Structure 1
């Protein structure tokens, strides 16, 4: 299992609230509805940081953290090569995500406490 972690930052012309609204109401449901995502993505989780003012914990510098689980790197490549991604997902990403300021990495989950 391969996990793609995306640390997303909004386009400069959007507020954090506008970014979150678009992500929750448009983008995530769009991704979840597409056949290519159903075929290749095993799990899709979106987190939007919110300020809680906890002493000693700095505020987030990203607008969203997205985790997507794939059986393999080849499945991720197949998703991004699909017509669903090219024609629907990618154009929508360009409406609210600043890709030049966002970060991406691959990982595997290691659970040290809690359910596995």
Structure 2
């Protein structure tokens, strides 16, 4: 298996997945985003949800490479005493069948023209961070991987 480049140490991020089977060769990326200077949190979220989301979700070409995409819009944690906010306005999960699939998607003319241009409309690109990792799964509850692999789940 190709070792993806490390952008953060393992201590910087973690993920827990419940009842989700992840193949050993899959690649998951987390993108951490700050809004472009001059945009409010609401403007950032609206663009990300109503423009960026459809650019990804409505394109059948991208779905050939991207198996899962999730946006997480951060809100202030003022209800939690002694807990600081994440210094980002949101983060995304992008799941790929492999590192090669991610590279192929990023090389597509559509991605290079539409997706890259859109990033510059609402993201502070200097503050954007990407974390790539393989199938690091913390199993919570019953392990369904055998049933999924056998086609019974």
Fold equivalence (TM over 0.5): yes
The answer on whether the counterparts of 1:2 and 1:69 sit within 8 Å (CA) in structure 2 is yes
Distance (Å, rounded) in 1 between the aligned partners of 2:141 and 2:88:
26
- Deviation string 1:53-74 (CA, Å, 9 cap, x unpaired) is 2112211210111010001111
CA offsets, 1:28-63, max 9 Å, x none?
111111123110000000001112321122112101
Corresponding residue of 2:124? 98
1:52 equivalent to 2:77? Answer yes
Determine the C-alpha separation between the residues in 1 that align with 2:142 and 2:37: 38
d(CA) in 1 for partners of 2:73 and 2:141?
22
Alignment partner of 1:23 out of 41, 45, 48: 48
Q: Does 1:41 align with 2:56?
A: no
Unaligned runs of 5+ in 1: none
CA RMSD between the two structures: 1.5
TM-score, normalised to structure 2's length?
Answer: 0.71
- Number of equivalences: 116
Distance 1:114 1:15 in 2: 40
Partner of 2:35: 10
Tell me the TM-score normalised to structure 1 length: 0.92
Given that residues 77 and 83 in structure 2 are in contact (C-alpha distance below 8 angstroms), is that contact kept between their aligned partners in structure 1? no
Give the secondary-structure state (helix, strand or coil) at the position aligned to 1:27. Answer: helix
Structure 2 gaps, min length 5:
1-25, 144-153
Displacement of 1:76 in angstroms is 0.4
Bigger radius of gyration among the two = 2
